[in-house]
Each structure stands twice: as C-alpha cells, then as structure tokens.
C-alpha cells in the first residue's frame, strides 16, 4: 500500500451528469473461484493483495473522496495527504465450495458477512463514502475463494468496474507467472477518468430526442431538486431507508 501512496498525484475529477444519474447505487459483484486442483497455494492472499494495490495505481480515482457543491454537482478529490483508501478485507469461512455449488450459489448459502456494502451508497464508519469495498473470503479447507467487490456509480459504470477487476486479475497472473508478454500488455493499457471526454466525443449530428425524454431532463421536479441539494452522505441515508418500502429482487448470472 505504501508504494501505491507514493504514486498518487493530487488532482480533482468533476463528475459528469451521467455519473450522478444512478450515483446513489453501488455496483456490487460476487466472484466464486473453485480450487479444482486442490492446490495448497491457490490464489494466495498476499498475491491478491499486492496485485490489488498495483491495479489501484492505475485507478487512483478509487482512493479519492466526494465533494459536493449542493446543487447536484460532485467532484472526486484525490489528495495523497488525505486519501480515502478502499476497504480491503480478508477472512476465512467454514463453508465448503461444494456447499455453494449444491445450493446453486443461492445467497442463503454464502459465508456470513460476505457482502460488506448494500445496494445503496452510504457512508462508512469514518463518515466518508468509500469508492471501493473488497472482501476476500477463503473457504473451508481452501476449497475455493469468494471475492466481493463493490464500487459506487459515482465513479464507475459497468465498463469501468470490470476494467479494474480485469486489470487486477491480469496483474495477479503476472505476479504468479512472471509472464513478460502479459506484463507488457497491462503496462500499455490506458485508462482515462476525464468525464468531459464524453461531451467532447459526442457527434455534432444527433437524432432529436423524443418529447418524453426532453420532459424528463428539462422538467422541474421538487423531489429531484431536493435530492440534488442533499450531500452524498445524506442522500444515501434517505434512499437507504426509502428502499425498504418496497421489495428488492436481485439476480445471479
């Protein structure tokens, strides 16, 4: 982690309106890995951890904190002297991988405490919204590993989420195999966090919006105005309580 901190440069990333449309939601995924060869050194924790922080060097935005202007505008601030480091947890479980398989990976069979965030983006114990949460759980008798990863929509969409996860996996492979070709491929990857790139990349010729879409984006909504005025922390608390008023259905693929 110290090496990561030494690579951080101070900068600010103003978020685009597209970022804030679903900002109150997390992007949480659970990844299940069976130790099919019954290897004693299957996905070692130290390798996972080291490669995680190497991947983070390429995604410093995930160690930033949110600053809101109270009008719906939000900026991610990356300050090497005031980092909002991702939560990275490791634990073990008495659950066998075969038990997860037998249950068809139904969430009721998962290790207790596997998910360290809910669907709504809320502040952590230190009062800040973490921009990434990771929980690595080693299953009983080293039969497998389950990794929980969650990032808020403030900073990533699906593409951004899996770009980080894929980079983490590649760097983990490099760490284990010393694959120089893969190492060069990862070094050549470029990640851009400038949200203005979206606007600059839009074509000048565009299809006119339909009336309903125009009304949604230009019409006045007292509720939307109020939610935009709230800080990210308060907005998360309000929406977290509101979600319990209706049933939530999730799907595993």
| Domain CATH for 87 | 3.30.559.10
Would you state the structure tokens that stand for residue 175, as one six-digit string? 């760490």
pLDDT on residue 10: 96
The first and second tokens of residue 59, run together, are 């995604």
Residue 79 lies in a domain: yes
Instruction: Judge whether 232 lies within some domain.
Output: no
**Residue 86 is assigned to a structural domain of this protein:** yes
Q: C-alpha distances in angstroms, 209 versus 103, 206, 215, 224? A: 46, 9, 10, 21
pLDDT in tens, 120-161: 899 998 889 999 999 999 999 999 999 999 999 989 989 999
> Tens digits of per-residue pLDDT, 183-221?
999 999 999 898 888 778 888 888 888 998 888 778 888
Give pLDDT tens digits for 224-251: 778 777 888 888 888 887 765 555 555 5
Residue 14 lies in a domain: yes
Q: Give the count of domains, the chain.
A: 1
Structural domain that includes position 147: 2-189
Joined tokens for residue 143? 């039969």
Contact indicator for 140, 94 with CB cutoff of 8 Å: yes
DSSP state string for 192-245: ---THHHHHHS-SS-PPPPHHHHHHHHS--HHHHHHHHS-HHHHHHHHHHHGGG
């Amino acid at each position: 982690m110290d090496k990561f901190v030494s690579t951080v440069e101070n900068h600010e990333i103003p978020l685009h309106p597209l970022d804030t449309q679903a900002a109150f939601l997390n992007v949480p995924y659970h990844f299940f890995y069976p130790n099919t060869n019954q290897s004693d050194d299957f996905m070692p924790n130290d390798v996972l951890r080291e490669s995680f922080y190497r991947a983070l060097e390429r995604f410093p935005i995930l160690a930033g904190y949110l600053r809101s202007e109270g009008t719906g505008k939000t900026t991610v601030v990356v300050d090497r002297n005031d980092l909002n480091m991702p939560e990275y947890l490791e634990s073990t479980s008495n659950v066998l991988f075969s038990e997860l398989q037998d249950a068809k990976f139904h969430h009721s069979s998962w290790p207790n405490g596997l998910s360290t965030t809910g669907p709504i983006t809320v502040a952590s114990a230190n009062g800040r919204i973490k921009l990434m949460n990771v929980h690595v759980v080693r299953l009983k008798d080293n039969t497998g590993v389950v990794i929980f990863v969650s990032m808020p929509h403030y900073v990533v969409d699906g593409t951004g989420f899996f770009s980080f996860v894929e980079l983490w996996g590649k760097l983990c492979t490099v760490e284990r195999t010393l694959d120089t070709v893969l190492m060069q491929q990862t070094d050549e990857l470029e990640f851009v966090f400038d949200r203005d790139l979206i606007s600059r990349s839009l074509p000048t010729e565009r299809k006119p919006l339909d009336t309903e879409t125009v009304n949604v984006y230009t019409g006045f909504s007292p509720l939307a105005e109020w939610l935009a005025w709230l800080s990210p922390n308060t907005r998360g608390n309000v929406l977290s309580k509101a979600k319990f008023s209706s049933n939530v259905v999730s799907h595993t693929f």
